[in-house]
Chain A
Amino acid sequence: MNTFTTNIQLVYILAAACFVVGLHLMNSPATARRGNQVSTAGMVIAVVVTLVLLIHEGTVTAVGWTVLIIGTLLGSVVGLYSARTVQMTAMPQLVSMFNAVGGGAAALVAVYGYIHDESAPGGVLGTTSVFTVLDVIIGSVTFTGSLIAAGKLQGVITGSPVMIKGGRAINLALAVVALGSAAFMLTTASLPALLLVVLASLAFGVLMVLPIGGADMPVVISLLNAFTGTAVAMAGFVINNWALIIAGALVGASGGILTKLMADAMNRSLGNIIVGGFGTGDNMIAAAVTGDVQIRSIAADDAAIQLAYASKVIIVPGYGLAAAQAQHGVAELAAMLESRGIEVSYAIHPVAGRMPGHMNVLLAEANVPYPQLKEMDEINPEFGRADVALVIGANDVTNPAARRQGTAISGMPILDVDQAKSIIVVKRSMGHGYAGIDNELYTNPKTSMYFADAKKAVAEMTAAVKTLVG
Chain B
Amino acid sequence: MSTALVTDLTIFVLALLVGIEVIGKVPATLHTPLMSAANSIHGIVLVGALLIGLTAHNAVGYILAFVAAFFAAANVVGGYVVTGRMLKMFRRKPQVPAPAQAQLNGQTKEQPKEVQR
Contact = CB atoms under 8 A, between A and B. Distances in A.
A and B are interacting partners: yes
Contacts of B26: 23, 26-27
Interface stretch (A38-46, A160-168, A301-309): A38-46
Interface string B43-85: 1111111111111110011111111111111111111111111
Contact of B28 (A73, A249, A252, A357): A357
Given A50-B51, A112-B56, A239-B48, A253 B28 contact: no
A75 interface: yes
Nearest to A64: B53
Contacts of B78: 78-80, 82-83, 94, 98
A222 interface: yes
Interface stretch (A99-107, A206-214, A266-274, A396-404): A99-107
B43 to A, nearest CB: 6
A80 B83 CA distance: 12
Interface residues of A, number: 128
Given A29-B29, A40-B80, A361-B32, A83 B85 contact: yes
Contacts of A70: 66
Given A27-B25, A82-B78, A109 B68 contact: yes
Given A23-B19, A39-B80, A82-B78, A106 B70 contact: no
A151 B29 CA distance: 26
Contacts of A157: none
| Majority SS at the chain B contact face | helix
Interface in A219-272: 221-222, 225, 228-229, 232-233, 235-258, 261
B47 A72 contact: no
Contact of B37 (A39, A235, A358, A360): A39
Nearest to B59: A63
Interface string A363-379: 01101111101010000
A257 B94 contact: no
Interface string B1-40: 0001100100111011111101111111111111111111
Nearest to A71: B69
B117 A87 contact: yes
Contacts of A328: 105-106, 111, 114
Given A112-B61, A335-B98, A50 B27 contact: no
A19 interface: yes
Contact of B101 (A106, A129, A243, A332): A332
Contacts of A87: 113-114, 117
B83 to A, nearest CB: 5
B39 A95 contact: yes
Interface of A: 12, 15-16, 19-20, 22-24, 26-30, 32-33, 35-37, 39-40, 43, 46-47, 50-51, 53-54, 57, 59-61, 63-65, 67-68, 70-76, 78-80, 82-84, 86-89, 91, 94-95, 98-99, 101-102, 104-106, 108-109, 111-112, 115-116, 129, 221-222, 225, 228-229, 232-233, 235-258, 261, 325, 328, 331-332, 335-336, 338-339, 348, 350, 353, 355-358, 360-361, 364-365, 367-371, 373, 375
7 contacts: A20-B18, A40-B40, A101-B74, A244-B45, A357-B28, A361-B86, A370-B29
Interface of B: 4-5, 8, 11-13, 15-20, 22-57, 60-95, 98-99, 101-102, 105-106, 108, 110-111, 113-115, 117
Given A15-B44, A95-B36, A104-B68, 19 more contacts: A19-B44, A23-B19, A24-B25, A26-B26, A33-B87, A47-B47, A50-B50, A54-B53, A83-B80, A84-B85, A98-B78, A108-B67, A115-B64, A357-B30, A357-B35, A364-B90, A364-B91, A367-B95, A370-B92
Shortest Cβ-Cβ A-B pairs, 5 listed: A253-B19, A357-B31, A75-B73, A79-B78, A71-B69
